Amino acid sequence: MAKWYLVYLAQSHPGFRKAELESIADLLDIEASFESHDMDHPFMTVLLEDDEQAMKLAQRSIFVRGVYELWGEGSDLDSLHADVKSKSSHYWPDYMTCSFKFDLVGYQGKRNRKDQVQLFESFAYLAFEGPIKMKQPDQIFTILEEYHVVGREPAATPDRMWLGRQVALGQREFKLLENYHLKNRSYTSTTSFEAELSLITCNIAQAAPGKLLYDPFTGTGSFLVAAAYFGALCFGSDIDIRVLRGKDSKSIKTNFKQYGKGYLLGDVLTMDFTHDAFRKSLRMDTIVCDPPYGIREGVKVCGAKNEDRFVGKESVLVDGQLAHTRRDYIQPKKPYELDALLDDLLQFASERLPVGGRLCFWMPTENDAQQESRIPQHHNLELRYNLVQSFDKWARRLLCYVKRDDDYVGTTLTKDQRTVKNNFRVRYFQGFNKQPST
Amino acid sequence: MKFLTTNFVRCAIKSCDGAVNSFPLKYSEIELVQEEQDFQPEFILGILPRLDWPAILKVAADLGNTSLPSQLPEIDINDPSNEILLKDLHTLLIETQLVQGKMICENCNHVYHIKDSIPNFLLPPHLAN
Ligand SMILES: C[S@@+](CC[C@H](N)C(=O)[O-])C[C@H]1O[C@@H](n2cnc3c(N)ncnc32)[C@H](O)[C@@H]1O
Ligand SMILES: [Zn+2]
């Protein structure tokens, strides 16, 4: 029978948490509802089938700090004790003889040593007879507290308290984010995407062992490395050969090696996404990317900006060889419209994803009300999540689409139908003051 | 470029889309290197359903390997005798690197290059516009 667990979540990007937890539950067949999730609080109670499911969730989530079998909750210590006594006494007999310790987790507040000891001793009625072990006890009973902040100081007493038996801690408690932090990674550049949100993106994209993940705008491969952490086979492409090649013998490949995931790097290919070379029958289970928004450089595709200048060039010979087939030939690039590229991306995803497969990509936008009209839509793709990360003057959104079968008729919103264009670059440099020209 | 990837790519030119002989590409003047990778039997097993086996045979033949079975055998991971086959596939698909050479579309004869292990599918203007 399902039971209640307390889930302790990191407060780093609360707007992304519910989507992450739901995506993991869906991927791993964990039956759970996260409807009670509240962005303003790090603790939530969730009904889960058993400890195994709780462990799976903790193991996979980037947000989860810990999952605890819930023994009681209250607004102060007295009400906590009353709740523990009335709700959890059926759990007690199982833990009579095992080794154990008590632990305290305070969110935005803490207690001094003496206070802590007193707090732990107040649970003496549990009457556990096993030895207390500070290192690697069989069980850890944790008191969790949430304080609010008054001015800059924590309030004197917590608003809410819980007692739980620790089932699992999340990977972020074991230096996952430090290990994957860009500053600790062998190959990065200015386009690299921060580790925590890359990992979260790949969780929402449901990267997993046995799946193939493709990033069409790979750059330094931030999403590929994150997807490999979750065990997916990774393919990437980029129009810029230099970024794929790396520098000072550092590259995407050395990043994969650094994390012990070399075998999961399929390949990175030099390719213009609008002229991709993947055979149509190749199933791509999930697509993740950060398209070129051209903050530093505009969107580019293969081709000649001024076609007249290239008339006849296709038959130019160099040393008896067609120039454009030589190894050292450099393919010219021309500018392309971002909105067209986004439409191409959705079309591609609708053709290559299996039903249920996900497309997740980031899109910078400013903080204004016209957002929705700018989000591309495809009739075979259901927009499942539209999550915002806000900065000072701008924001970026993680859009997650799920491929549906042919019976599904969703909204279509192509570039010509979008009322406001995503000329983010122009608007970025104008400081978002003016209304966009459409 | 891993041997595996030869099974996933075809000519990037739009007019070759759907042409039977635009996949697999023809591999010529290829420099090969064996690069050791962790052997993960489950991982190899997971890749097999994605493969186009006739294309594997063709590219392997381009590269001088004609010893592959004409049909991909059924593989049961619990049968230890399959370990050898999985290991062979691992060596071929994951450890065999195409470092330099040409990839040619047999439909339109366009030549693509592999440069320092990275295949280049960028198109010249008259084939991209
Ligand atoms: C925002 S960056 C992505 C950065 C990447 N997430 C990383 O970890 O470094 C966008 C990338 O798209 C590439 N790009 C631009 N136009 C492209 C095209 N037509 N096809 C493929 N890649 C393209 C750029 O070279 C750039 O590396
Ligand atoms: Zn061709």
Provide the CATH number for the domain formed by B3-121 in this structure: 2.20.25.10
**Which chain B positions have a beta carbon within 8 Å of A280's beta carbon?**
17-18
- Pocket of ligand 1 contains residue A219 by CB under 6 Å: yes
| B22 phi, psi to nearest 5 deg | -90, 0
Q: Closest partner residue to B121 among A235, A277, A313, by Cβ?
A: A277
Task: Answer yes or no: do A68 and A155 share one domain.
Answer: yes
CA distances from A382 to A207, A288, A409, B17 (A): 18, 16, 9, 27
Asked if pLDDT for residue A435 goes beyond 60, the answer is no
The verdict on A300 and A408 lying in the same domain is: yes
pTM of the entire predicted model: 0.94
Both A297 and A352 in a single domain? yes
A272·B121 Cβ contact <8 A? yes
Question: What's A395's domain CATH number?
Answer: 3.40.50.150
**B126 CB within 8 Å of a chain A CB:** yes
pLDDT of A242-252, one tens digit each?
999 999 999 99
Other C-beta atoms within 10 Å of B77: how many? 12
Does residue A238's CB lie within 6 angstroms of at least one atom of ligand 1? Answer: yes
Instruction: Based on the fold, state whether residues A163 and A114 are members of the same structural domain.
Output: yes
Which of A174, A199, A220 finishes a domain? A174
**Closest to A41 in 3D by CA, of A64, A68, A83, A8:** A8
Q: Is A35 domain-assigned?
A: yes
Cα-flanking dihedrals φ and ψ of residue A242, to 5°? Answer: -65, -40
Q: For residue A203, is it within any domain?
A: yes
Ligand 1 centroid to residue A291 C-alpha, Å = 6
Q: Is A201 in the pocket of ligand 1 (CB under 6 A)?
A: no
ipTM entry: 0.97
A183, with CB counted inside 10 A (0-12, 13-18, 19+), is exposed
List pLDDT tens digits, range A320-331. 999 999 999 999
Residues of chain A numbered 299-338 and touching chain B (CB < 8 Å):
301-304, 307, 310, 313-314, 324-325, 327, 329, 331-332
The C-alpha R_g of chain B, in whole angstroms, comes to 16
Q: Quick: pLDDT tens for A186-202.
A: 999 999 999 999 999 99
Residue nearest to atom 12 of ligand 1 (CA): A217
Whether residue A325 and residue B110 make contact (CB cut-off 8 A), yes or no, is yes
Distance CA A338, CA A341 (A): 5
**In chain B, which residue's Cα lies nearest the Cα of A329?**
B124
| Residue A426 binned pLDDT confidence (cut-offs 50, 70, 90) | low
CA distance B2 to chain A (A): 7
Which residue of B lies nearest to A327 if distances are taken between CA atoms?
B113
Collapse the DSSP code of B46 into the 3-class scheme (helix H, G, I; strand E, B; otherwise coil) and give the result: helix
Q: What is the pLDDT of residues A400-409, one digit of tens each?
A: 999 999 888 8
Of A114 and B75, more confident: A114
Cα distance between residue A426 and residue A60, in whole Å: 39
Q: What is the pLDDT of residue A175?
A: 97
Q: How many residues are there in chain A?
A: 438
Q: Are residues A315 and A214 in the same domain?
A: no
Q: Chain-wide mean pLDDT for chain A?
A: 93
Same-domain check for residues A275 and A392: yes
What total number of domains does chain A contain? 3
Q: What is the largest CA-CA distance in chain A?
A: 92
Would you give the DSSP letter of residue A10?
Answer: -
Query: In the numeric block, which tokens belong to residue A396?
Result: 């970026």
Same domain membership, residue A39 and residue A163: yes
* Domain-located, residue A435: no
Residues A267/A235, Cβ–Cβ less than 8 Å: yes
- CATH number of the domain that residue A157 is part of: 3.30.2130.30
Report yes or no: B74 and B31 within 8 Å, Cβ to Cβ: no
Which are the contacts of B109, defined by CB distance < 8 A and separation ≥ 6?
none
Question: Where in the sequence is the domain holding A312, given as residue range(s)?
Answer: 306-335
Last residue of a domain, one of A316, A335, A354: A335
List A267's β-bridge partners, or say none: A235
Backbone angles phi, psi at A62, to 5 degrees: -85, -25
- In a shared domain, residues A194 and A206: yes
